[in-house]
Structure 1
Amino acid sequence: MRARRARDHGADAAAIARASRAVTAQITIAAAAIVVLVVVLSVAFIFDQSQPSELLEKPAPGETKIYVDADDMLIALIVVGIIAIFLAGLLSWVIARRAVRPLGEALRMQRTFVADASHELRTPVAVVAARVELLRQELDAGDDPTQNLTELRQDVSLLSDVITDLLIAATPPADAEKRTPTDVVAIAESTIADLQVIATGRNVAVRLDAAPGITTPVPPTTLRRCIVALVDNAVGHSPAGGTVRVAVAPARDRASFAVSVRDEGSGIIGIDSRRLFDRFARGADATSGGERSGFGIGLALVRDIADRYDGRIEVTDTSSAGTTFTLTLPRL
């Protein structure tokens, strides 16, 4: 994964460098053509004004004439022209670097969006796949598949909502965002219910303890993305037979609420806890001790969402008995 990211970064850098060189060359050639034209016209004018007939003319009374050696003037013009071309090339290089800087930012944003979308869609797709497998087993056993079909339709609808939320997050925020109350507990319950199919496959239990009556201006799909990322991270770091505990409660200031997710893994290993929320940062696997599979994007996305809504995400506890992540968001 790191090698692929390095290749992508190298490809972007090469594309930007090529664009910068192309712009520099075009500006330099245009400037050089103008300088050469000016030098040629100046030389022609000097030769025209340095005819012997004019040199023999006596200055009129009170008139002063200054004579300049044509060869010296020609050399001076050539030197000035070369310096002008060099300065034009240097200036065009600086301008080109500034001109292609937005290209580099656009490429970075494009790759970031693709990485975010890929990560955000991975868990919903895994849920759909698990649901399809359960449906297949029910059909093979001759059981009624109505319940699983209904849940499968809900999963597909949630998948569409995630895509919509990603597109909204990629657009500039509006000056005044409509604040519609979101029932935090309802979102937490439905999200955990959907993730149970994945947790069960890994022999991990997920438990929810939530205080009722908490609402937030954070859109339902956005809040769901945060809970999915935190619970999926906790399940991935929990040993078989472990339990992930999710708690939703008002914060002390009563103006916000906290979602705490605790796993029973071996704690944060192989990375500074302050770097966990950096994009592509990954710790060690809780079960094998090696680097955990994944792309290190989920917690970074949670941090981005928390920042967008004036909240925060932090590691509130980590030890050999497990790790607790706490997401704090505003209440309505």
Structure 2
Amino acid sequence: MGRDAEARLLRRAVRSVAVQTAFAVAFVVIIVALGVVLVFDRQQSVEISGIVRRAAATAEDVADPPDGVWLVLVSDSGRTTSAGIPSAAADSAVLVSAPPGEVSFTAGGQEWTAWVDQRPASRFVAIYDPSRHEAEEHRLVMSTTVAGIVGVVLAGVIGLGVGRRAVRPLGRAMGLQRRFVADASHELRTPLAVLHTRAQLLRRQVGRDDPTSAELDQLVADTKVLGEVVADLLLSAQLEHADVVGEDVDLSALGAAVVRSLKGYAAQSGVTLTVTTEGRAHHDAALDAGSSSAGDLDGQDDGRWSVIGAPTALRRALLALIDNAVAHSRPGETVSVEITRAGDEVRVAVIDTGDGLDPADAARLTERFARGATGRPGGRRFGLGLALVDEVVGAHHGHLEIDGAPGVGSTFIVVLPAGGPPGVDGG
């Protein structure tokens, strides 16, 4: 991750804090608003009940009802109503049949609250005008909504300020980590290279019949492994904290060069290494002579295998895949490296017929120090290598495809965007 990517990450973190704060406040506002409306409705219901009860109990005629109330006088001679009462409410049969006391009924698609006061020869019914309650409730909801929106906006602004203060230590920590990686890269590589060289010199000074010969061989191997592990860790850290500086890389040439460097190691394990570009073999004589490109080997180089990337990182990724394939192959088996061009992608497949792996574990295998399930005790180990390959490929805007089956081999395919001219799709 480069500086620009880190800056984007910090900005996203600030925005995330602001958005989460705004959402939290919005949630609280909604809960409070619902509570206020419920309390308001409950309070209004009690007040409306008291208003209609008093209006019905004190009514002497229907000519002058209290504000917001209509009166209906039901007697043997018929019904007499206050002016302006909706006909749906005035004509409802409930006014005649309802028992004394509070009554709620529906008429004309509207809910009505009324109070029936039964008298010897008649009954007065007080009906509340619901439009008053609806208007007050609308004003309450609107004021609560406006207050809530203002509160959410203010919460977002406050969240931005809090987010900036919260991620400031993270930015400083990233800067310190970036400087540590640079310092470690400078300070560790040289001492480890010197240590490995001294171990090799010491081994050359001791004959094969010396009792310490085997231990010195192991010391040389251990210092080499230590250097490779540190190189992997540093490369992984650099990929996380620096943008990949791109240049034109011929994957065909790179694949051939890596195979050439590992042929001796593979031969010691009894494993044969082969490399082909678009079905054309890179012959051993050409490899041994030092040729490293498909063009040199086949008489042409049209740049169709080129990608834009960091040669050292890509070489380390291919080296890790081929080394892993050789390590998990049996004597007499073959590890094949196939480079093809498919549309706008260059694909490098490393194929072995060794221990194999379960495709269901493919996603987990790119985790650091993952262990795959195979027929051998303990499973197939991938250590840091496959995780590093995945990071290198991801940093180059590509992806890693994994396939295989336990006991029958595995296939790892590095897929990268092509940087050269388009050619015939690879088969």
TM-score (norm 1): 0.48
Larger Rg: 2
